[in-house]
């Protein structure tokens, strides 16, 4: 069985149906499927939407799908690295996929960069990644990925999936995560997430150590959160600190 491109194919029909139902509780006009592989999830999705465009990097899978789905006019496959796709071209759409785990975080960034283009996203990812995406402050999974995710979306872990549901089985547990977009100003999100990534850069360091270079030591020392670590602050608290520091002037770099 090939393992290139993070290929672990779903074979549990109940899991496939549950993912498709979560992505399309009602008939959707357009679904974008990331990493269709041999089409295990493609068929259940297609039965719940009017049109499906799949994006697949592996030429063998693309050929296989083109043969399998020949004559199905509601389906098309693009042979492309999804990370090079601007998902905004598909607006409005639903996005779904059993993601290649080695690039699930970059795919999440890509999806968030297309804010406004998608109305729902449902992904099967490594369970640990799903937990980090949905984590709240106080959980050991909480970090930059949680902040990036929750600035853009409400994240809900729907159910977990054991390795036995796949062929070949991955070494880790998996989970299905539902992302429902929040309305967010793109420029604000970009600036706040730059601040958040700097805040979390050295997770064990105090905020004053991570941020002084960007806002000045004296400005940081004046903040009540200066001696806390980023992981001790909720997203709302991080946003409050960002607003206060931003009001002092632009970041130094």
Instruction: Give the residues lining the site for ligand SAM (CB under 6 A).
Output: 5-10, 35-37, 40-41, 55-58, 61, 81-83, 98, 100, 103
Contact 3, 66 (CB under 8 A): no
Nearer to ligand SAM, 103 or 245 (CB): 103
Nearer to ligand SAM, 14 or 236 (CB): 14
CA distance 241 to 94: 34
3-state secondary structure of 175: strand
Q: Name the minimum Å distance from CB 56 to ligand SAM.
A: 5
CA distance 76 to 55: 9
Nearer to ligand SAM, 89 or 221 (CB): 89
Q: Name the minimum Å distance from CB 143 to ligand SAM.
A: 24
Nearer to ligand SAM, 107 or 115 (CB): 107
What's 74's DSSP letter?
T
Q: Name the minimum Å distance from CB 94 to ligand SAM.
A: 15
Nearer to ligand SAM, 37 or 181 (CB): 37
Per residue in 72-104, is it b (16+ CB within 10 Å) or e — as a string?
Answer: eeebebeeeebeebebeebeebbbbbbbbbebb
Q: Which of 124, 78, 83, 77 is nearest to 103 (CA)?
A: 83
**Tokens for 187?**
């420029």
Q: Shortest Cβ contact with ligand SAM: which residue?
A: 35
Q: Name the minimum Å distance from CB 154 to ligand SAM.
A: 24
Q: Name the minimum Å distance from CB 32 to ligand SAM.
A: 11
């Amino acid at each position: 069985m090939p393992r290139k491109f993070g290929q672990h194919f779903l074979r549990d029909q109940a899991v496939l149906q549950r993912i498709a139902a979560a992505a399309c509780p009602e008939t959707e006009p357009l679904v974008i499927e990331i990493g269709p592989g041999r089409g295990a999830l493609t068929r259940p999705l297609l039965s719940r939407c009017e049109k499906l465009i799949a994006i697949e990097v592996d030429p063998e899978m693309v050929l296989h799908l083109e043969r399998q789905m020949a004559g199905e006019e509601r389906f098309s496959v693009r042979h492309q690295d999804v990370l090079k796709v601007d998902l905004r071209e598909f607006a409005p759409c639903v996005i779904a996929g059993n993601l290649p785990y080695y690039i699930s975080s970059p795919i999440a960034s890509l999806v968030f960069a297309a804010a406004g283009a998608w109305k729902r996203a449902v992904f099967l990812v490594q369970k640990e990644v799903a937990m980090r995406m949905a984590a709240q402050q106080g959980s050991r999974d909480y970090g930059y990925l949680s902040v990036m995710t929750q600035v853009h979306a409400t994240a809900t872990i729907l159910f977990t999936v054991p390795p036995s549901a796949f062929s070949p089985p991955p070494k880790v547990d998996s989970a299905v995560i539902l992302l429902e977009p929040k309305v967010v100003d793109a420029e604000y999100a970009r600036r706040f997430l730059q601040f958040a990534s700097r805040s979390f850069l050295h997770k064990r360091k105090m905020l004053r150590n991570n941020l002084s270079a960007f806002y000045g030591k004296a400005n940081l020392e004046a903040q009540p959160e200066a001696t806390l670590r980023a992981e001790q602050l909720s997203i709302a608290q991080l946003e409050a600190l960002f607003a206060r520091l931003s009001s002092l002037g632009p970041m130094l770099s």
